[in-house]
Structure 1
């Protein structure tokens, strides 16, 4: 007996994917919007990382966040919070 594998079927995880609220939003766009909304000083208080507190810039922040998953997760979380706040204010 030979095993039959149906290679035409899509992989299970791709079949039903929950909607990701961050889908299509770049890290650069998140950092830029957060800095504009909060200002660098407040952003550095919300997320206490040096790239937001000392000589902050989008470029330096991206360099750090791309290699630091825990910090990126904090940025994503604050970004979603900011979007909820903006929606409530409308």
Structure 2
């Protein structure tokens, strides 16, 4: 997160139960490793994450996946979601 002063300020102020909305996952992180770490850290702090362009990775969707209860979207993504629910 080097050089992302305002984002660092946001992350330091969020509390359990807060919600952060991103346009895209690319706005949360600059690479996959950083993104995975940030997602996991915020998820474990019970911060809800919403990605407008990638709703399939919202934390609410992830939590539903843990209970095999992801709702179908009526799009091509359903093939993947069905597999996740079965798994």
Normalising TM by the smaller chain, what interval? under 0.3
The structure that is helix-richer by fraction is: 1
When normalised by structure 2's length, the TM-score is 0.27
The structure that is strand-richer by fraction is: 2
When normalised by structure 1's length, the TM-score is 0.26
